Structure 1
Amino acid sequence: MKTDSLLRMPGSFIGSDWVQPIDGGTEDIPNPATEDVYGVATVGGVKDCDLAIAAARKAFDSGPWRRMSMRDRARKMEQLHAALLARSDEIIDMIVAEAGCARAEAAGLLFAIPMQQMAADIDEAYRYESVRSLPFIINPGWAGDKVLGTGAKQRVPVGVVAAITPFNAGFFLNVVKSSAALIMGNSVVLKPSPYTPFEAWILADTIRRLDFPPGVFNVVTGGIEVAQMLTTDPRVDMVSFTGSDKVGAAIMAQAAPTLKRLLLELGGKSALIVRQDADLDVAAQAAYWNITCETGQGCCLFTRHLVHNSVKQAFIDKMIAVNGQAVVGDPADPSVTVGPLIRAREQQRVTGMVDEAVRGGAEIVFGGKAPSHLNRGYFYEPTLITGVDNAARIARDEIFGPVGVVIGYETDEEALAIANDSPYGLGGGIISTDKGRAFEMALELDAGFIVMNDGPGAKHPAAPFGGLKRSGIGRESGVEGLDAYTELKSIVFRAG
C-alpha cells in the first residue's frame, strides 16, 4: 500500500476538536486480509483520557445538551443520521478494510442495521415522555380525613458515559451506544478497539462538522490503561461495554468503588435447535450464516447446532452443500463471502482450539485449517465439527472464529437441557415448522435474544438486546435501551 494512501487519525477527539496525544503516540493499523498497513492511528494515554473525561464532565455539568428538550436533541441527532448516511460508501469501505468483513455484511449488518436502530431511537425520542404521572391514591390523613395524593416519575440522564466497544462491530456499536446515550442527554467518551480505531474516527469527524456542543462527544484511543481510567475515574458515571465476560467481570470490579452504572453485553455460546420437522434448507442456511458471519467473530452467533438425530445427517449434508458455495478471501472483492480473522493471534487461537478438539476425538466435516490458496492475511476456513458432546471445550467456550459444532438429541426436553447447559445466555434459535411448539420452546430457553426460524428479516429495532447469566447485564435497543442511559426519579405530592 502506498504511503500517501494511508488514513491518518489527527488525534484524540476532545471537546470539539482533534488534540494531539500528550502521553500517547501512533500505531500502524493493518488490513487483516492483506497485512498491509491501512492507516496510522492515534494511540492515547491516561493524560489524553483525563482531558476527554474533563471535557465530557464540563459539558454535562454546565453545557446546554442535557438542558435541551428531547425534541431538540432528536433534531440534532437527525442531522447526524443524515450526515452518516451521506458517507455510507466511505464507511462501508472502511469496515471492509479495517475489520476484514465481507462487503455484503459490512453494508447490511454493520452499517444499515445500526443506522436503522439510530433512526428508530430518534423516532422514539419524539414520543418519549421524560416525566410521567403516577396514579392518584387516597391515603388516610392524620386528622381522620382522606388525602388525595399523586406524583410523577422522571427519567434523567445518568451523566458522563464511557462507551467501550470491540473490533467485531466497531461502527455498529459506536453508533448504537453513543446515539442512545446522547439522545437521552448524556455526554460520551468513546474508546474503540485498538484494532478498529477509524470506525470511531469517522463518527467523531462527522459530529465535528455538525457543531455539537463541545465535550458532548469525545473519542480517546489507547490500551488497557485508558480503559481502566474510564472504568475507575469518579467523574465517569456509567460504563457501557461490549466484549468478553472476563473483561466484563474485571470492569465490574473496577467500577465497584465508585458505584458506576453498568451496561454489559458480553460473550455467548448460543444454541440453534433444529427440530425433526425443520425445513432443513432454512436450517442449513441459518446455521452456516451463524458460523461465517463476521468470520464467526460475533458474540451472539449460534455456533452450537443441536440437531434431532433423525435429521442430523441430512442437516450435515445440507451444510456441506452450502459450504461449497462460500468464497473465502479478501473482502475488497465483492464476490467474497468470508473474510479474515482480525489478527494473527486470533487465527492461532482458533487453530489451537480446533486442533485440541480433534485430538480429543472430534471429527471435521469441512474446514479445520487455514486456506491453502491464501498466503497472506489471517484466514481460517469455515469449519463444522461433529463427534463431540456439550461437555467438550469447543462446545462450551466462545471460539470467535468460523467454527460450529453439531450435537444430536432425541427429545425437545433434551435439546432444551443441552442448550441451557451453558454459563452463557445471550442468544438462541429454533427451527421448526410447528411455530407454536417453537414458541413454547423459546419461552424455556435461557437466553436474552431468541430467533425463530429465519426471523423477522433483519434486526428488530424495538427488540431489546442483551443476555442472561455471564452474557451480561442490561439491555440495548428499543425503549429499554434508551432507559438504560437514564436514572429514575420519583416526585410525590398532594393532589389538592
Structure 2
Amino acid sequence: MDTTTYDRTALFIDGEPTSPSTISVVEVIEAATEKLLGTAALAGPADIDAAVAAARRALTSWGARSAADRADHLDRFAAALKSRAKQTAALASRENGMPLSTSINVNGYAPALMVEYYARLIRDADRDDVRPSVFGGRTVVRREPVGVVAAITPWNYPQSLAAMKLAPALAAGCTVVLKPAPETALDAYVFADAAQEAGLPPGVLNIVPADREAGAYLVEHPGVDKVAFTGSTPAGQAIGEVCGRLLRPVTLELGGKSVSMVTEDADLELFAAKLLEVSLVNNGQTCHAGTRILAPRSRYAEVVEAVTETVRALRIGDPLDRATQIGPLVSAAQRERVLGYVESGRADGYRITTGGAVPGDQPVGWYVQPTVFEGVDNRARIAREEIFGPVLTITPFDTEQEAIALANDSRYGLGGTVWTTDEQRGLAIADRIESGTFGVNHYLLDLAAPFGGVKSSGLGRELGPEGLAPYQRTKSVYFGTSAAAAPVAGGSRR
C-alpha cells in the first residue's frame, strides 16, 4: 500500500494557499491501516472571516459574467477534476474506507460530470424569461446569483456531495466557502488544485476545513447569503433553526432509513444481485441506503435466505483492492457506534443470520462484518434509527397495504426501493411512499433529476435543473403597455 503522507498545512482562500490563523490541525487516519495518512490545517473564526470576505469581493465580477463565460470556466474546472479522478478516488477511499470500485465513480468522475452538466445547463439557458402580463404589457423575470454560499459537507461521499453544491452554485454566479469534514479534509484540496489549474478567479472558491464550532460560526456569518448542508438530521435541525432566525436560504440533505420492499412477484435473483449497491453501498455509510428490508410472509424464508447468503458471501478487505465489496468504516468511533447498534438488536432478542462482529481476519482497520437481523419489529431501535453502517433488518408483512404503512412509519423519507416484476405496480407503490426519491428494481442517483428528502430527511433538492434554482433569486422587472416591446438588452444572468 502507498505510504505517502498527504499534508495540507495551508487553507485555500482568495485563490491561493493561505496560512491559518491558528495552530490547530486534524490528523487524518487511514481507515484500513489505522496509520496517519496526513494532516490538514483547521480554520478558526479569523480564517472564516477571510474566506467570506474573499468570496464577497469575487461575487460581483463572477456573478456579472455571462453564462457562457462561466460555463467555459466550469468546463476547464471539470477537465482538471477529471484528470485527477483516479488519484482522488484512491485518496478518498483511504480516508473513509469506501471500496475503490465505488469511489472511482462517486469520488473520481462524478464531480467532473456534475460540473460539466451545470456548465451545459447554463450555456443552453442563457436568456431572460419574458412573460406577458395579465394586466397588459410584459414582465422580464431575471435570475440572479443568491450570493455567497456556505457549503458544509460530510465525510461519507466527500467529493460528490461537495460537487452537488459547488457545481450549481458556481454555475449560478455564486461564490463559495466550502467547509469539508475534518475526516476527509485532505481530498477537499483536490478542488483547490483543480480551481487553480482551471484559472477560476480568486475568491470564487475558498476551502476551509474546520471543526463544528468554526462551522457554526460560518453558518451564522453575516457575509453568508445561503447555506447548503449535508449531514445528520440533528445537525441539520440546528442549522435550520439558525437560518430560519436569519431568514437565510438553506438546503438540507439529511439522514435516512430507507426501505427495500420485496413483493410476492419479485425476482429474488435480481434483488440479491442489487443488494450491495442498494442496501450496503459504501459499507452502509450512505444516507439513502435501503437497510430496512420488508418481505412478504409468503416468501419470507426465501428472502431471509437470499439476503443472508448474499451478505455472507461479500468480500471484506482492503478498500484499494478492486475486488473488495465491504471496506472499513471511517473511524474507530463510527465502528463502536455501529457495534453498539448490533448489541442493541441482539439484546432485544432479534436473530442475527450472518455477521454481528469484527471480522477475525481483519485485526487492523475499522471493519465490521455486514450483519443481517431477521424478524425485526418495525418499532425496534435498529429499524428506526440511522445506523450508518453495514447492518440490515428484515421485517415480514402480510399485505401490500401493511408494507406501505411500515415503509411510511418512519421519521425519515429520503430513498427506498420496491422489487416487483410489474413496473406499473412498482410505480403505484412509489406514489404511496413518503419519500423524496424511490426506485423500482433499481436505485441510483440521476445527475439530471432532483434528489432530496421529506420529513426529517431534509429540505430542498440537489441535482438536475431543480438543483440550480436554490442558488438563484428571481427579480421581476415590469414593463407597461406604453414601453417598447423589444427584448431587454443585457442578456440573461443565469
TM-score interval (norm. to shorter)? over 0.9
The 5 Å alignment of 1:10-21 reads: 10-21=9-20
- What CA distance in whole angstroms lies between the structure 1 residues aligned with 2:472 and 2:199? 24
Structure 1 residue corresponding to 2:79, chosen from 78, 82, 90? 82
User: Unpaired runs of 5+ in structure 1?
Assistant: 140-147
1:274 and 2:262 matched: yes
Partner amino acid, structure 1, of 2:476:
S
**Residues 178 and 206, structure 2, Cα contact 8 Å, conserved in 1:** yes
Structure 1 residue corresponding to 2:465, chosen from 476, 479, 483? 479
Task: Give the corresponding residue for 2:52.
Answer: 53
- What CA distance in whole angstroms lies between the structure 1 residues aligned with 2:119 and 2:295? 41
Task: Give the corresponding residue for 1:459.
Answer: 445
Q: Deviations over 1:48-71 (max 9, x none)?
A: 11111111111114xx21110111
Task: Give the corresponding residue for 1:143.
Answer: none
Q: Secondary structure at the match of 2:223?
A: coil
The Cα shift of 1:184 comes to 0.4
**Residues 133 and 153, structure 1, Cα contact 8 Å, conserved in 2:** yes
Q: Secondary structure at the match of 1:301?
A: coil
The 5 Å alignment of 1:424-439 reads: 424-439=412-427
Structure 2 residue corresponding to 1:340, chosen from 305, 328, 334? 328
Q: Deviations over 1:227-262 (max 9, x none)?
A: 111110111010000001100011112223322110
Q: Deviations over 1:382-413 (max 9, x none)?
A: 11111221101110000000011101111111
1:100 and 2:100 matched: no
**Residues 160 and 186, structure 1, Cα contact 8 Å, conserved in 2:** yes
Structure ranking higher in strand proportion: 1
Partner amino acid, structure 2, of 1:314:
E
The 5 Å alignment of 1:319-338 reads: 319-338=307-326
Q: Secondary structure at the match of 2:21?
A: coil
Partner amino acid, structure 2, of 1:19:
T
**Residues 426 and 466, structure 1, Cα contact 8 Å, conserved in 2:** yes
- What CA distance in whole angstroms lies between the structure 1 residues aligned with 2:452 and 2:86? 30
Q: Secondary structure at the match of 1:93?
A: helix
The Cα shift of 1:468 comes to 0.4
- What CA distance in whole angstroms lies between the structure 1 residues aligned with 2:350 and 2:126? 55
- What CA distance in whole angstroms lies between the structure 1 residues aligned with 2:278 and 2:335? 18
Task: Give the corresponding residue for 1:217.
Answer: 205
Structure 2 residue corresponding to 1:256, chosen from 215, 224, 244? 244
Partner amino acid, structure 2, of 1:345:
A
Partner amino acid, structure 2, of 1:112:
Y
**Residues 354 and 368, structure 1, Cα contact 8 Å, conserved in 2:** yes
1:490 and 2:483 matched: no
1:29 and 2:31 matched: no
Q: 1:113 to 1:202 in 2, by over 3 A?
A: closer
Structure 1 residues 89-98 or 124-133, which shifts more? 124-133
Q: Secondary structure at the match of 2:476?
A: strand
- What CA distance in whole angstroms lies between the structure 1 residues aligned with 2:289 and 2:2? 36
Q: Deviations over 1:342-399 (max 9, x none)?
A: 0111111111111111111111011111111111111101111112211011100000
Would you identify which runs of 4 or more consecutive aligned residues in structure 1 move more than 4 Å?
none
Structure 2 residue corresponding to 1:163, chosen from 151, 169, 176? 151
Q: Deviations over 1:417-454 (max 9, x none)?
A: 00011111101111100111110111111000111112
The 5 Å alignment of 1:191-202 reads: 191-202=179-190
Partner amino acid, structure 2, of 1:483:
A
- What CA distance in whole angstroms lies between the structure 1 residues aligned with 2:424 and 2:86? 42
Q: Secondary structure at the match of 1:222?
A: coil
**Residues 287 and 305, structure 1, Cα contact 8 Å, conserved in 2:** no
- What CA distance in whole angstroms lies between the structure 2 residues aligned with 1:235 and 1:476? 23
**Residues 58 and 202, structure 2, Cα contact 8 Å, conserved in 1:** yes
The Cα shift of 1:150 comes to 1.6
Partner amino acid, structure 2, of 1:86:
S
**Residues 370 and 390, structure 2, Cα contact 8 Å, conserved in 1:** yes
- What CA distance in whole angstroms lies between the structure 2 residues aligned with 1:119 and 1:312? 45
Number of aligned residue pairs? 482
- What CA distance in whole angstroms lies between the structure 1 residues aligned with 2:11 and 2:313? 43
The Cα shift of 1:24 comes to 3.9
Q: Secondary structure at the match of 2:182?
A: coil
The Cα shift of 1:136 comes to 4.0
Task: Give the corresponding residue for 1:144.
Answer: none
Task: Give the corresponding residue for 2:487.
Answer: none
Structure 2 residue corresponding to 1:385, chosen from 373, 380, 391? 373
**Residues 79 and 112, structure 2, Cα contact 8 Å, conserved in 1:** no
Partner amino acid, structure 1, of 2:6:
L
**Residues 371 and 390, structure 2, Cα contact 8 Å, conserved in 1:** yes
What's the C-alpha RMSD, in Å, of the aligned pairs? 1.5
Q: 1:265 to 1:460 in 2, by over 3 A?
A: same
The Cα shift of 1:94 comes to 0.9
- What CA distance in whole angstroms lies between the structure 1 residues aligned with 2:445 and 2:109? 10
Q: 1:70 to 1:277 in 2, by over 3 A?
A: same
**Residues 228 and 254, structure 1, Cα contact 8 Å, conserved in 2:** no
- What CA distance in whole angstroms lies between the structure 2 residues aligned with 1:112 and 1:88? 6
The Cα shift of 1:130 comes to 5.4
1:226 and 2:225 matched: no
The Cα shift of 1:44 comes to 1.4
Task: Give the corresponding residue for 1:318.
Answer: 306
Task: Give the corresponding residue for 2:123.
Answer: 126
Q: Deviations over 1:62-119 (max 9, x none)?
A: xx21110111101110001111111122111112211211111011233333333332
Partner amino acid, structure 2, of 1:127:
D
Structure 1 residues 465-474 or 279-288, which shifts more? 279-288
**Residues 81 and 115, structure 1, Cα contact 8 Å, conserved in 2:** yes
The Cα shift of 1:45 comes to 1.1
Task: Give the corresponding residue for 1:145.
Answer: none
**Residues 287 and 303, structure 1, Cα contact 8 Å, conserved in 2:** no
Structure 1 residue corresponding to 2:355, chosen from 350, 363, 367? 367
Partner amino acid, structure 1, of 2:294:
L
Q: 1:263 to 1:34 in 2, by over 3 A?
A: same
Structure 1 residues 395-404 or 331-340, which shifts more? 331-340
Q: 1:106 to 1:94 in 2, by over 3 A?
A: same
- What CA distance in whole angstroms lies between the structure 2 residues aligned with 1:353 and 1:130? 53
**Residues 291 and 401, structure 1, Cα contact 8 Å, conserved in 2:** no
Partner amino acid, structure 1, of 2:338:
V
- What CA distance in whole angstroms lies between the structure 2 residues aligned with 1:433 and 1:394? 29
Structure 2 residue corresponding to 1:292, chosen from 265, 280, 283? 280
Q: Secondary structure at the match of 2:280?
A: helix
**Residues 88 and 107, structure 2, Cα contact 8 Å, conserved in 1:** no
Q: Deviations over 1:439-490 (max 9, x none)?
A: 01111110001111125xx432211000001100100000000111111111
Q: Secondary structure at the match of 1:29?
A: strand
1:445 and 2:433 matched: yes
Task: Give the corresponding residue for 1:154.
Answer: 142
Structure 1 residues 462-471 or 89-98, which shifts more? 89-98
Partner amino acid, structure 1, of 2:67:
M
Q: Secondary structure at the match of 2:376?
A: coil
